[in-house]
Amino acid sequence: QVQLQESGPGLVKPSQTLSLTCTVSGGSISSDGYYWSWIRQHPGKGLEWIGYIYYSGSTHYNPSLKSRVTISVDTSKKQFSLKLSSVTAADTAVYYCARFGRTYDILTGYSHTYYFDYWGQGTLVTVSS
Amino acid sequence: QSALTQPASVSGSPGQSITISCTGTSSDVGSYNYVSWYQQHPGKAPKLMIYEVSNRPSGVSNRFSGSKSGNAASLTISGLQAEDEADYYCSSYTSSTTLVFGGGTKLTVL
């Protein structure tokens, strides 16, 4: 059973960089076709996709956050990380890490899908001085 | 990319059926069968209930079903149970190669 666990500071000062790490257990972060993502949820609000990374290091970000987001991966530690720069109070949210499901085609092999089959429990990050 | 449109709340009595709509555009829901639905209980992480419009992951009750017509998708829950009370979110892949969520629907079991 795959498990994901977010970790990082719960309080970040305005203008600083938010840094979170997601540790994957019960499965390989380097398996073909699995992409790893960050999603956030503002207090009492809906979900917002931030971006994803493949174990090769390939990334794709939400254009609305792209200028401030960096997602990286450390396969040896089975971790992937999120950095969000120049934070403001508007970045206060619960941050989730999650895995995109994958599908298999006999001709093309594994490829990722566009649904999240496993999620971390989430971690609240508050931006405040 | 604008969020998908969901009703803020729906309600139903135990045993009844309810449907939650998720309206997008021809750039997301209307063009791709990559609509998924998530259930979220208070203080918990979302849980995948339906993927690729109408597929149920292993372990999800067959009381949950999904469908799509044009630019709108729907989640139907039949035989409502108390434990179904939660927030529900839809999601879709978009032509901008991004992922967009709906604003969420609070389901109340009366």
Give burial (CB, 10 Å; 0-12/13-18/19+) of A98: buried
- Compute the mean pLDDT over every residue in chain B, rounded to the nearest whole number: 96
Q: How far apart are the first and last CA of chain A?
A: 39
d(CA B48, CA B90): 10
pLDDT of res. A4: 97
Q: B60: pLDDT confidence band, cut at 50, 70 and 90?
A: very high
* Tokens matching residue A61: 């970000």
Residue-wise pLDDT tens digits, A29-83 = 998 889 999 999 999 999 999 999 999 999 999 999 999 999 999 999 999 999 9
Amino acid at A118: Y
**A-to-B residue pairs, Cβ atoms closer than 8 angstroms:** 61
Phi-psi region of A122 (alpha: psi -120 to 50; beta: other; left: phi over 0): left
- Compute the mean pLDDT over every residue in chain A, rounded to the nearest whole number: 95
d(CA A58, CA B72): 32
Q: How far is B97 from chain A (nearest CA, A)?
A: 9
pLDDT of res. B1: 61
Other CB atoms within 10 Å distance of the CB of residue A97: 31
**B89, B98, B99 ranked by CB distance to A46: nearest:** B89
CB A11 within 8 A of CB A89: no
Q: How far is B104 from chain A (nearest CA, A)?
A: 6
Closest CA to A113 of A62, A72, A52, A68: A52
**A63, A96, A122 ranked by CB distance to B98: nearest:** A63
**Residue B45 contacts A where some CB pair is shorter than 8 Å:** yes
Give residue for tokens 């809906």: A46
d(CA A110, CA B56): 20
Amino acid at B105: T
CB A32 within 8 A of CB A54: no
d(CA A88, CA A92): 8
DSSP 8-state symbol, A91: G
Asked whether the predicted pLDDT for residue A101 surpasses 90, the reply is no
Stretch A2-27: mean pLDDT: 97
